[in-house]
Amino acid sequence: MAKVVVSDHPLVQHKMALLRDKNTGTKDFRALVEELSLLMACEVTRDLPLEEVAVETPICKTVAKKLAGRSICIVPVLRAGLGMVDGMLKLVPDAKIGHIGLYRDPQTHKPVEYYCKLPADVHERAIVVVDPMLATGGSAAAAIGFLKARGCTHIKFCCLIAAPQGLKALQEAHPDVDIFIAALDETLDERAYIVPGLGDAGDRLFGTK
């Protein structure tokens, strides 16, 4: 089983409190999602491979370390995953971006695919799938399934809030995928919304309700 990392960083917890607040408006919500994504990117990229390189400082020659191989590919799950891309790009500016469009059917809560566009070399890259919410786990499991069907093998998943049910479902569907979470919540309600959660992440990010 791959690892599950739940952040214990004080800045993450502080910003999550602001993000959850129903009085936080669209502009601040968007900024907080970006800041939280940057903080989570530190965790997600912690084990990226390095290689030694020769560097000449103003003082002398030395050996330092740089990232090895191709840069990562960030794959937001539309729509809400888009809010996490800029924060991650601040730390990994040369990352490629793929997009997977899914929405949850309001009756069945099952994911429905409507868009998929990935870099041609996606299967050769380490991939970070981003989506603020892991509720039933259906959307994340489907998105990762699409990537595996296209030959991707090194996949991580990063979200801001997870419900225990979604975490379990994702681990069962993709036991090889490391999962990074800013906050692990209590449960789901009858509409499959996360409790206490933050409401509808897409609507709060884009001001659609």
For residue 130 the two structure tokens come to 């981003």
User: Is 104 marked active-site?
Assistant: yes
User: Which partner from the list ligand PRP, ligand URA, none does 193 bind, CB cut-off 5 to 8 Å by kind?
Assistant: ligand URA
User: Active-site residue among 108, 153, 187, 208?
Assistant: 108
Closest to ligand PRP by CB, 122 vs 192, is 192
User: Which partner from the list ligand URA, ligand PRP, none does 88 bind, CB cut-off 5 to 8 Å by kind?
Assistant: none
The b-or-e profile of 49-69 (16+ CB within 10 A means b, else e) is eeeeeeeeeeeeeeeeeeeee
User: Is 204 marked active-site?
Assistant: no
At 164, phi and psi to the nearest 5? -55, -35
User: Active-site residue among 20, 24, 30, 200?
Assistant: 200
Closest to ligand URA by CB, 146 vs 193, is 193
Q: How far is CA 109 from CA 1, 8, 188, 192, in A?
A: 26, 30, 12, 7
Residue 162 near ligand PRP by CB under 6 A = no
Residue 174 near ligand PRP by CB under 6 A = no
Check residue 199 and report its DSSP letter: S
Site for ligand PRP in 119-158 (CB under 6 A): 131-140
User: Is 189 marked active-site?
Assistant: no
User: Is 131 marked active-site?
Assistant: no
Residue 77 near ligand PRP by CB under 6 A = yes
For residue 21 the two structure tokens come to 């607040």
SS3 assignment, position 8: coil
Cis peptide preceding 119, ω within 30 of 0 = no
State the residue for tokens 């960030």.
74
The catalytic site residues sit at 104, 108, 200, 203
Residues of this chain that interact with ligand PRP (CB under 6 A) are 77-80, 102-104, 109, 111, 131-140, 166, 192, 200-202
